[in-house]
Amino acid sequence: MREREVRLSAGEDFGLPGLAELQQGVVEAPRSAERRSTVYFDSDDLRLARWNLSFRYREGLGWAVRLPAWDAGGRLVPDEIVFDGPSGTPPAAAVDLVKGYLRHAELRPKVRLRSRRLGVLLRDAEGQLLADVVDDAVSVLDGSRVIRSFRELGVNTTDATPPGLLEATVARLRDAGAGAPDSTPEYLRALGGPQVAPAEIELPKLHRSATLGQVVTHAVAAGVIRLLRHDPVVRLDTDPEGVHQARVATRRLRSDLRTFRAPLDAEWGAGLREELGWLGAELGQARDADVLLDRLAGRGQELSDASKDGARRVIDALARRRAEAHSGVLETLSSDRYLDLIDRLVAAAQSPAVLEAKRDRPAADTLPSIVRRAWQPLEKKVTSLSDDPADEDLHMVRILAKRCRYAAEACAPSLGKPTHKLALAARKLQDVLGELNDAVVAERWLRDWANHARSGAGGFAAGELAALEREAASQARAEWRKAWKHVKAAAQ
């Protein structure tokens, strides 16, 4: 279930204003009063709260996990997933969803709430719900004793909400005395505010005067945050970007540990890179299948109607492969090895093993040589290529371009615009060569599948799809040297 909402604080004397005239045709009707009893669960050290998650049981509604909200143009978009199950024992599927954050910690009841919900429903003339405006008075309980109370408003929109209604509603509430939009979840408010549960990983701000230790910390912390933010998306399997971004985070962490290997403890860095390599390989099988499936599903639309039935056979076979690969990823994410690795990564993000002699050096004095070390292997490889390089050689160029890009991105906040320009150019080269590699891999898979296919129609369609991939590979080959020239110019 996906909701879109804006939350605002309100004082005890706040009076809900009329909202019927915000837009023409908007009709206001009072909500029925609700009484709610809620228990929030967390670890003893509040790991879920530290990541802006909540895990709750609400009487009459059951279990729900709310994932971190992200800011979409001033609008909060939290994801809430509902689970069946009796009170008292958290459902196993819900616990699994937040396992990356909990790791080996146990869930326990942490906060009990009693609340009263009032408000109004905004509908159009036909009765379709446009927005739900709620007014919650919340009491935090210790046994039967109220130890804290607060009031908050919420404007919940729907797919039918017309443009401007959300903004107009928030403005009217603020004019009536409500506070500014506030992303603090109910659970954190009940605990006493965000200061009670500071983030498990802080992302330091970088600037021109940053130290080498700060730059390394930022790089590692950003990668670990990215991995953990996408952990539940991988588990839910509602969007292939979950696996994609988790794999990117894993690869980027390995690359950053390689880029900054000189100021890092060698044994510490090598151990993390080895485990990240294992995780990347596990995620890679599912990601490669996702890319191939999306690619061939699109290519199948280019075939004639006579070939589309055969193309569906190809896609179905690939979908089965993808499902098997994702099942393997879920097993990996449930393993002690993965949870132990996340523990190590969180500790690394909090305090990477930067050598004491180098930690406080000005980053601007050291980073240029680090970027050069990432650039030089790329330049050397391209210079050594023949006029018609092999696919394998261009794949290595792509890998080296990615390393150069990641190094430049990690160093750009301290080195400025020229390094940022190099990162952008390297990314474009990586994208062109990525298209080439994807086309080569797709053609190879299709020809192998056709050779073993029991379906004549499927084998014929696979051959047609392979021809389209060969054409895509030729086009990418024709473009990569132009992209390379931009990288070389940016590196000067």
What does the block give as tokens for 377? 């292997």
Give the span between the Cα atoms of 256 and 278, in whole angstroms.
Answer: 16
**Vertex 185, ends 183 and 191: CA angle to 5°?**
130
Q: What is the pLDDT of residues 148-157, one digit of tens each?
A: 999 999 999 9
User: Any idea what DSSP says for residue 25?
Assistant: T
CB 252 within 8 A of CB 423: no
Residue 74 reports pLDDT greater than 70: no
Contact 7, 181 (CB under 8 A): yes
Which pLDDT score, from 0 to 100, does residue 306 have?
Answer: 85
Can you give the pLDDT at residue 76? 43
The encoded tokens of residue 114 equal 């009693």
Calculate mean pLDDT across residues 398-404: 96
Mean pLDDT, residues 396-412 taken together:
96
The answer to whether residues 14 and 151 touch, using CB atoms and an 8 Å cutoff, is yes
The predicted-structure confidence for 28-64, as pLDDT tens digits, reads as follows: 999 999 999 999 999 999 999 999 999 999 998 999 9
Q: Is the pLDDT of residue 77 over 60?
A: no
State how far the Cα of 305 lies from the Cα of 358, in Å rounded to an integer: 64
Average pLDDT over residues 183-211: 90
Q: Which residue reads 């301290």 in tokens?
A: 414
SS3 breakdown of the chain: % helix, strand, coil, rounded to 5? Answer: 55, 20, 25
Say if CB 61 and CB 84 are below 8 A apart.
no
- Alpha carbon 269 to its chain centroid, in Å, reads 24
113-to-37, 49, 186, 313 alpha-carbon distances in Å: 6, 16, 10, 53
One DSSP character per residue, 425-472 reads: HHHHHHHHHHHHHHHHHHHHHHHHHHHH-S-HHHHHHHHHHHHHHHHH
Q: Is pLDDT above 60 for 1?
A: no
Domain edges within the chain: 4-196, 212-491
Count of residues for the chain? 492
Residues contacting residue 76 through CB under 8 Å, at least 6 positions apart: 4, 5, 6, 7, 69, 70, 181, 183
Statement: residue 207 has pLDDT above 90:
no
Judged against a pLDDT cut of 60, whether residue 173 lies above it is answered with yes
Please give the pLDDT value at position 485.
97
Q: How far apart are CA 241 and CA 317, in angstroms?
A: 21
User: Residue range 73-94: average pLDDT?
Assistant: 78
Measured in whole angstroms, the distance separating CA 169 from the mean position of its chain's CA atoms is: 30
Q: Report residue 70's pLDDT band, with 50, 70 and 90 as the boundaries.
A: low
Contacts 24+ apart (CB under 8 A), 177-180: 177/10, 177/11, 177/13, 177/14, 177/15, 178/8, 178/9, 178/10, 178/14, 178/153, 179/8, 179/9, 179/10, 180/8, 180/9
Q: What is the mean pLDDT of the segment spanning 134-141? A: 96
CB atoms within 10 A of CB 47: 19
Is residue 118 within 8 Å of 35, Cβ to Cβ? Answer: no
Nearest of 421, 415, 414, 409 to residue 489 by alpha carbon = 421
Q: List helix spans (H) across 301-416.
A: 305-333, 336-350, 356-359, 363-383, 391-415
Q: What is the model's pTM? A: 0.90
Which residue is it, tokens 């449930």?
A: 334
Q: Are 98 and 48 in contact (CB under 8 A)?
A: yes
Report the distance separating Cα 152 and Cα 168, nearest Å. Answer: 18
Give the tokens for residue 400. Answer: 């080296």
Q: Which fold has domain 4-196?
A: Hypothetical Protein Pfu-838710-001 (2.40.320)
Any idea what the Cα angle at residue 190 is, between residues 180 and 155, rounded to 5°? 40
Residues whose CB falls within 8 Å of the CB of residue 347, separated by 6 or more in sequence, listed in order: none
**Which residues 6+ apart lie within 8 Å of 321 measured at CB?**
289
For residues 416-423, average pLDDT: 95
Bridge partners (DSSP) listed for residue 108 = 42
What band does 73 get if pLDDT is binned at 50, 70 and 90?
very low
Q: Do residues 170 and 18 touch, judged by C-beta distance below 8 A?
A: no
- Cβ neighbours of residue 94 closer than 8 Å, sequence gap 6 or more: 55, 63, 65, 81, 83, 85
In angstroms, the Cα distances linking 284 to 186, 238, 436 are 37, 18, 18
Q: Are 429 and 401 in contact (CB under 8 A)?
A: yes
Q: Which phi and psi (to 5°) does residue 84 adopt?
A: -80, 155
Assigned fold of 212-491: CHAD domain (1.40.20)
CA distance 152 to 189: 10
